[in-house]
Amino acid sequence: MAFFEGNKMTAGYGDGPDIITSCSLNVNRGEIVAILGPNGAGKSTAMKSLLGLLKLKSGYVKINDEDISKLSPQDRVKKGISFVPQTKNVFAELTVQENLEIGAFLREDDIQSVISEIYELFPILSEKKSQIVGELSGGQRQQVALGRALMIKPSVLMLDEPTAGVSPIVMDELFEHIIKIKKTNVAVIMVEQNAKQALSISDRGYVLVTGQNKFEGSGEDLLNDPEVRRSFLGV
């Protein structure tokens, strides 16, 4: 039994065709799982289905063996699921510290100890705690987004294209931070276009094609699979 799973999920938008069909994904705590595939494969749709932003036509979503398929996105957050969207994931007009404080909206205890943990994980944010986030570099803004998502002390962290639009150096740095997050026993599941680099840090991965599971396996196995390499890794 996986800690967080979507099983045989079928979903689409409105009355349109199904975007994902009988799609299954899962992740355990202390694990990084990558969701890969070409544009239009259903990666973001699968992520939205796990979060409850899309209603499933069939299948289910469970966390720690509890069926949460009918819960709202807000109630799923209360179960310990945190999500970092690809865009609009920070409050650009507020400071770093204010962004983190907003991330703790569900907490009723003293949040200063949690903020201290975030600053330990992302030292640059501690240096820039009073700076307006809109003035930061793209990589630093992504660290703010990650830090804000971690303020609820989630058991599951969902990331949609965390390295989109950043340089290769910043991408490597962000992946290093994601590895650090994994080591705190968080289950990390991410949609990522940089497939080769994502698989190199992932424990497991799924490749979706036209909304269905096409390949799955360990990051290393997928990196070495000839068909995956040819079709999705460009090697």
Name the band, by pLDDT with cuts 50, 70 and 90, for residue 42.
very high
Give pLDDT, residue 108. Answer: 67
Reported CATH class of domain 4-80+155-233: alpha beta
Give pLDDT, residue 106. Answer: 66
Residue range 112-140: mean pLDDT, rounded: 91
- Backbone φ and ψ for 35, nearest 5 degrees, come out as -110, 115
pTM of this structure? 0.91
CA distances from 186 to 4, 24, 50, 156 (A): 11, 20, 16, 6
Give pLDDT, residue 23. Answer: 96
Give pLDDT, residue 107. Answer: 67
Chain segment 45-80, per-residue pLDDT in tens? 999 999 999 999 999 999 999 999 999 999 999 999
Give pLDDT, residue 230. Answer: 84
**Can you give the residue ranges of every domain in the chain?**
4-80+155-233, 90-153
Query: CA-CA distance, 206 to 198, in Å (whole number)?
Result: 11
Give pLDDT, residue 220. Answer: 93
Chain segment 181-217, per-residue pLDDT in tens? 999 999 999 999 888 999 999 999 999 999 999 999 9
What is the DSSP code string of 98-142?
Answer: HHHHHHTTT--S--HHHHHHHHHH-HHHHHTTTSBGGGS-HHHHH
Query: CA-CA distance, 201 to 91, in Å (whole number)?
Result: 29
Query: CA-CA distance, 154 to 145, in Å (whole number)?
Result: 14
Name the band, by pLDDT with cuts 50, 70 and 90, for residue 166.
confident
